[in-house]
């Protein structure tokens, strides 16, 4: 109410800026017209003022109204049609265009223009960021592919130059195969990430016992764990099956990537322990904890970015390309689940992710 009465006092007729300008201009034009008429009647025709006083007053108001209507009509037609043309060229097909065409209110048009401007600025910023991201991504791919290609090229050129010793030939050929394997890994991972990012991956949701999947991954990585002198174990014996609803193959991959990391970045005589706990009513949390190198806090926010590695020289010897955790995150998020990481340098790391229990699971 206070605001309304204040507005009425400042702008009694509720006029917009364009109308106000016409209103004031019409007032001054009418005054000038009436003064000119007064001067003519008084000095040229020498008529007594009282004989035309009322006429002048009526003429003043009549003139004011007429000039006001005329001016606002002309200004609106002329200015707004120009402004609309201008907007149409800036924003060919957006909702604003219809808003503008419906309105001849300059205040509204100005606020719309400001809104469009800030939206365009945000769009430009996003496009710039995407461009940087793409450039960095392509650079990373080139780097990842270059290393094994140079390696393969080096061995093949040496072999072509002629190596007589059979043992050396075999060794070089083995290294070449290793390089090709590496290329295959990177390309497979990149393909998977691209599929996830373009939303092309469809999950094959089934009900399965997560304990069996963990067991399978343990068996698969048994040799690598022995080589790295790390023990793989569950935190306790789980007697009843824990049936979850998810894509088994993908969850197998998540567990493999996380456990392989715990082996790669673990310490000799270390332990990788997997545990399962109930998170809420129908959700469980699968934890993979190790007592390895650990990760400094500053790296944690960027850990799941593709190609992100902490110590590039150390990891190079482990052969990682920094895609493993990015894939893990994509898989978990495609399941509408969450992944967490807690880690402390020189103490160890714990990666955990949620999964949804099958409705009939008795956990
Ligand atoms: N359990 C862990 N302990 C210590 N550091 C880890 C652990 N897991 C991941 N990291 C760090 O996070 C980085 C990213 O891991 P990620 O699995 O994405 O890549 P990668 O292992 O280097 O390569 P890839 O998995 O593609 O073969 C690793 O380079 C490593 O430095
Ligand atoms: Mg990895």
Average pLDDT (131-151) is: 87
Same domain, 223 and 341: yes
For residue 290, which atom of ligand 1 is closest to its CA?
1
Per-residue pLDDT reduced to its tens digit, 321-353: 889 999 999 999 999 999 999 999 889 999 999
Instruction: Assess whether the C-beta atom of 265 lies below 6 angstroms from ligand 1.
Output: yes
Same domain, 275 and 348: yes
Ligand 1 center to residue 299 CA distance, Å? 11
Q: If pLDDT is split at 50, 70 and 90, which confidence band does 10 have?
A: very low
Instruction: Assess whether the C-beta atom of 22 lies below 6 angstroms from ligand 1.
Output: no
Flag whether 246 is in a domain: yes
Flag whether 146 is in a domain: yes
Instruction: Assess whether the C-beta atom of 320 lies below 6 angstroms from ligand 1.
Output: yes
Strand order across the beta sheet in which 230-234 lies: 230-234, 270-280, 283-290, 348-356, 339-344
Per-residue pLDDT reduced to its tens digit, 178-200: 999 989 988 999 988 888 888 87
Percentage of residues of the chain with pLDDT beyond 90: 51
Instruction: Assess whether the C-beta atom of 272 lies below 6 angstroms from ligand 1.
Output: no
Same domain, 210 and 293: yes
Q: State how far the Cα of 169 lies from the Cα of 205, in Å rounded to an integer.
A: 48
* Residue 238: pLDDT over 70: yes
CA-nearest of 193, 179, 201 to 141 is 193
Instruction: Assess whether the C-beta atom of 30 lies below 6 angstroms from ligand 1.
Output: no
Same domain, 236 and 337: yes
Q: How many whole angstroms from its chain centre is CA 142?
A: 24
Same domain, 164 and 37: no
Q: State how far the Cα of 355 lies from the Cα of 288, in Å rounded to an integer.
A: 14
Ligand 1 center to residue 82 CA distance, Å? 60
Mark which of 42, 73, 104 sits at the end of a domain: 104
Flag whether 114 is in a domain: no
Query: Which has the higher per-residue pLDDT, 165 or 353?
Result: 353
Flag whether 111 is in a domain: no
pLDDT for 2 equals 43
Flag whether 345 is in a domain: yes
Pairing, β 339-344 against β 205-209: unpaired
Q: How many CB atoms lie within 10 A of CB 225?
A: 21
Whose C-alpha lies nearest to ligand 1, atom 29? 309
Query: Whole domain around residue 170: which residue ranges?
Result: 121-197
Flag whether 112 is in a domain: no
Same domain, 215 and 347: yes
DSSP tag of 164 = -
Per-residue pLDDT reduced to its tens digit, 256-314: 999 999 999 998 889 999 999 998 889 999 999 999 989 999 999 999 998 898 875 54
Provide the mean pLDDT of the chain.
86
Instruction: Assess whether the C-beta atom of 310 lies below 6 angstroms from ligand 1.
Output: yes
For residue 262, which atom of ligand 1 is closest to its CA?
1
Q: State how far the Cα of 6 lies from the Cα of 12, in Å rounded to an integer.
A: 9
Same domain, 209 and 339: yes
Q: State how far the Cα of 137 lies from the Cα of 118, in Å rounded to an integer.
A: 28
Flag whether 109 is in a domain: no
pLDDT for 103 equals 54
Mark which of 104, 139, 161 sits at the end of a domain: 104
The ligand minimizing its distance to the Cα of 185 is 1
Mark which of 42, 75, 104 sits at the end of a domain: 104
Average pLDDT (110-134) is: 87
Average pLDDT (229-251) is: 95
CATH number of the domain within which 249 lies: 3.30.565.10
Pairing, β 283-290 against β 270-280: antiparallel
Instruction: Assess whether the C-beta atom of 271 lies below 6 angstroms from ligand 1.
Output: no
Same domain, 191 and 263: no
CATH number of the domain within which 149 lies: 1.10.287.130
> Can you read off the two tokens belonging to residue 1?
């109410």
Please state the domain count of the chain.
3
Same domain, 222 and 334: yes
Same domain, 314 and 226: yes
Per-residue pLDDT reduced to its tens digit, 38-77: 999 888 888 888 888 888 899 899 999 999 998 888 887 7
Q: State how far the Cα of 98 lies from the Cα of 267, in Å rounded to an integer.
A: 66
Q: Model's pTM, two decimal places?
A: 0.68
Flag whether 308 is in a domain: yes
Q: CB within 8 A of 67, min separation 6: which ones?
A: 25, 26, 29, 30
**Residue 296, CA distances (Å) to 227, 228, 300, 323 in order:** 26, 22, 7, 19
Same domain, 291 and 270: yes
Same domain, 137 and 217: no
């Amino acid at each position: 109410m206070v605001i309304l009465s204040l507005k009425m006092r400042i702008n009694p007729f509720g006029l917009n800026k364009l109308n106000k300008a016409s209103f004031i201009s019409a007032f001054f034009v009418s005054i000038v017209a009436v003064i000119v008429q007064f001067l003519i009647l008084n000095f040229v025709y020498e008529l007594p003022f009282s004989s035309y006083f009322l006429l002048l007053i009526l003429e003043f108001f009549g003139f004011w109204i007429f000039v006001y209507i005329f001016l606002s009509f002309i200004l609106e037609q002329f200015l707004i049609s120009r402004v609309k043309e201008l907007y149409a060229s800036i924003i060919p097909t957006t909702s604003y265009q219809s808003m503008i065409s419906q309105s001849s209110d300059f205040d509204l048009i100005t606020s719309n223009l400001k809104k469009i401007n800030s939206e365009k600025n945000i769009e430009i910023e996003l496009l710039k960021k995407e461009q940087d991201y793409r450039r960095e991504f392509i650079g990373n791919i080139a780097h990842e592919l270059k290393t094994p290609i140079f390696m393969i090229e080096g061995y093949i050129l040496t072999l072509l130059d002629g190596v007589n010793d059979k043992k050396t030939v075999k060794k070089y050929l083995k290294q070449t195969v290793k390089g090709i394997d590496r290329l295959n890994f990177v390309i497979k991972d990149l393909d998977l990430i691209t599929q996830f990012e373009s939303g092309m991956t469809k999950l094959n949701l089934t009900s399965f016992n997560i304990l069996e999947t963990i067991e399978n991954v343990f068996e698969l990585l048994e040799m690598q764990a022995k080589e790295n002198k790390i023990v793989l174990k569950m935190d306790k014996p789980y007697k009843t099956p824990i049936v979850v609803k998810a894509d088994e193959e993908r969850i197998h991959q998540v567990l493999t990537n996380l456990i392989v990391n715990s082996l790669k970045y673990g310490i000799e005589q270390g332990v990788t322990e997997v545990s399962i706990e109930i998170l809420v009513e129908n959700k469980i949390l699968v934890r993979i904890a190790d007592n390895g190198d650990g990760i400094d806090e500053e790296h944690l926010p960027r850990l799941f970015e593709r190609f992100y590695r902490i110590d590039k020289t150390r990891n190079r010897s482990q052969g990682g390309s920094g895609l493993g955790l990015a894939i893990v995150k994509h898989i978990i998020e495609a399941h509408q689940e969450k992944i967490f990481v807690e880690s402390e340098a020189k103490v160890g790391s714990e990666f955990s992710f949620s999964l949804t229990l099958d409705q009939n699971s008795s956990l």
